[in-house]
Amino acid sequence: MTQSNSPSADHIIHISGLNKSFGDLHVLKDVDLTVCAGNKIVVCGPSGSGKSTLIRCINRLEAHDSGTIQVDGKELGDDLRAVEEVRREVGMVFQQFNLFPHLSILENCTLAPIQVRKVPRPEAEKQAMALLERVRIPEQAHKFPNQLSGGQQQRAAIARSLCMTPKIMLFDEPTSALDPEMIKEVLDVMLDLAEGGMTMIVVTHEMGFARTVADRILFMDEGRILEDASPTEFFDSPKHARTKEFLSQILDQTGH
């Protein structure tokens, strides 16, 4: 299953020697990562291990200190135009949803296509409705974000990202802020997306989701990727002691 070492043109993300510090805190240490189109990667690890920072570097919400990041053939750096081109192709779903509270759900979905991609409004609305249908909340289109439940808001946020027809989707702990009964509806949408062939990098502790969806699971600790393995290898024969410890903690806790 692991394709990370095959040098080929379909490496949609290529990261090498990535370092990032916040002041004295060295969050990412010489991280290398290659992602092929269609990969579904789950990133897990204890809090503070750098997993969120890693995916935030991929659309340059964080600027890295050294190393290179290539996304969809473009190098991320100080060239703002390249950064914005990459961001158009990379959707991101946040822990706190970050829907725009002053816009309706439909406007949340159509704003970027209309403003950034210059899609005509009727077409953008049609596409947004189709995607809201896909995340199963078409009836919420004309409501405002604060009128929706957490699960509905996160599904709307996923639809909003999909409206830009991205090639890659990044998920930064998408279910961590949700009440337990709403987690499944969001994971189901993500599952559906994975089955559709989307390239996905998901930071999550939902190990059930990781087992079914991921073709690679990364385990991060103290700014390094310690484990990069298929789900079977990861759960059945983890290489690192830290991975075993983490797995036993998290599996105990969630009762899997």
Partner 1 sequence: MSMPSRESSISPAAWMRANLFATPVDGAITVIMGGIIVMIAIPVIDWALLSAIWVGSDGSQCRVEGAGACWPFVTAKFNQFIFGRFPDEEQWRVISVFVLGGGAIAWLAWPNAPAKARIAVFLLMAFPFLAALLLAGGVLGLAPVETNLWGGMLITLVVAFVGIVASLPLGVLLALGRQSELPIVRLVCVGFIEFWRAVPLVIFLFMASNMLPLFFPAGVTVDKLVRALVAVALFSSAYMAEVVRGGLQAVPKGQFEAALSLGMGYWRAMVLIVLPQALRHVLPGIVNTFIGLFKDTSLVYVIGLFDMLGVITVNLTDPVWFSAQTAATGYVFVAFIFWIFCFAMSRYSVRLEENLGQSRGANSYASLR
Nearer to partner 1, 91 or 223 (CB): 91
To partner 1, the closest distance from the beta carbon of 92 in angstroms equals: 4
Q: How far is the CB of 5 from partner 1 (least distance, A)?
A: 30
- Compute the least distance from the CB of residue 56 to partner 1, in Å: 8
Least CB distance to partner 1 at residue 142 (A): 16
Q: How far is CA 172 from CA 21, 104, 223, in A?
A: 19, 23, 16
Residue 135 Cβ vs partner 1, minimum distance, rounded to whole Å? 16
3-state secondary structure of 200: strand
- Cβ 43 vs Cβ 22: under 8 Å: no
Return the number of the residue (98 or 149) whose C-beta is nearest partner 1: 98
Give the residue with the Cβ less far from partner 1, 22 or 100: 100
Residue among 99 and 214 whose Cβ is closer to partner 1: 99
The answer to whether the beta carbons of residues 28 and 54 sit under 8 Å apart is yes
Residue 45 neighbours by CB under 8 Å, 6+ apart: 51, 218, 219, 220, 221, 226, 246
Q: 114 or 247, CB closer to partner 1?
A: 114
d(C-alpha 142, C-alpha 246), whole Å: 43
Four-CA torsion 192, 227, 27, 213, nearest 10 degrees:
0
Structure tokens at 3: 């394709």
Q: Which residues bind partner 1 (CB under 8 A)?
A: 59, 61, 80, 84-85, 87-88, 90-92, 94, 96, 98-102, 111-112, 115-117, 157, 160-161, 164
